[in-house]
Copies of this chain bind each other. A is one copy, B any other.
């Protein structure tokens, strides 16, 4: 099978991005059909397919004998029916969800929306019950959802598709399901894995271990960036030192510390899936008399509260937290008003350097 993006979609996406970045403003005239044909080397029929879809979704308006204009001149934008948005979180990274939820709630409340929250605990059975409830009560305009175990097969996909069919847009945060064509606001996980390794290498590390989470796509993506950075620097990844843990494993590293320590024993640095893992590693190392960063460096992701109070304080990539919540709220309102507004957004945060990574270059001088 081949993945195909129909030609007309390119035109739709181009016009949407021109509107989003402000090049095409409300009320301004669209390029003519002929101009679009030439611009994309496409037939008039394909261009009409694209503008037809945009018109159907009230993004543009055709005015007879005049031209096509941005915005819906004749009819109002789609209006929310209930002014209510459901938010479904996993609760897994309990140090992230409060500011994210606050960002979502404040922004939506300010726009007159109520917000109902539920938690799945990263459990697909609970996810199913929540989705069933949303579908049966039929009282929300949209859903902001954090997926449960996005790297595993999930039997709940049809519930999401049913929501979309009913005109209830879905926006994912932190991760999304590969089988669903729905927008997502998340960290650039691949980029973070890559930047973390690049930073460790800049500090003289080459024997680099990692602890990843295998049930969420975040883990798979951070691994991909981790692997790419090693490769680009001529370092061959040692699978023995790349440890994969499941949800229960990640949430309680204590019974695994002996095992982990043995597997990564020669490494000078370890990239932790997130700060929850990183802080547990640091505590575990401390108890064993392994000094961070003198014996081993640790780097995390998220900038959790615990990252700042860790001993030593943790070098990490900050999750945008409230900023992500605010953007999710803004995007879901856009989607409610215009279901075509389906765009991903990725955050690639800059590293916060604290004291958990040793500079090996200095040592040699």
Contacts and interface: CB of A to CB of B under 8 A. Distances in A.
Nearest to A247: B239
A345 interface: no
A74 interface: no
A346 B227 CA distance: 32
A72 interface: no
Interface in A152-166: 152-153, 155
A350 to B, nearest CB: 24
A165 to B, nearest CB: 15
Contacts of A263: 248
Nearest to A256: B259
A76 to B, nearest CB: 30
A4 B243 CA distance: 36
A294 interface: no
A5 interface: yes
A262 interface: yes
A240 interface: yes
A240 B244 contact: no
Contacts of A237: 125
Contacts of A227: 153, 155
Given A1-B5, A181-B2, A255 B258 contact: yes
A289 to B, nearest CB: 20
A152 B223 contact: yes
A123 interface: yes
A162 to B, nearest CB: 17
Given A4-B4, A125-B237, A243-B246, A228 B155 contact: yes
Given A239-B123, A255-B262, A259-B256, A224 B2 contact: no
Contact of A259 (B3, B152, B221, B255): B255
Contacts of A348: none
Interface of A: 1-6, 122-123, 125, 151-153, 155, 181, 214-215, 220-221, 223-224, 227-228, 231, 236-237, 239-240, 242-249, 255-256, 258-259, 262-263
13 contacts: A1-B5, A1-B181, A122-B239, A125-B236, A152-B224, A155-B228, A214-B214, A214-B215, A240-B248, A242-B246, A244-B244, A244-B245, A255-B259
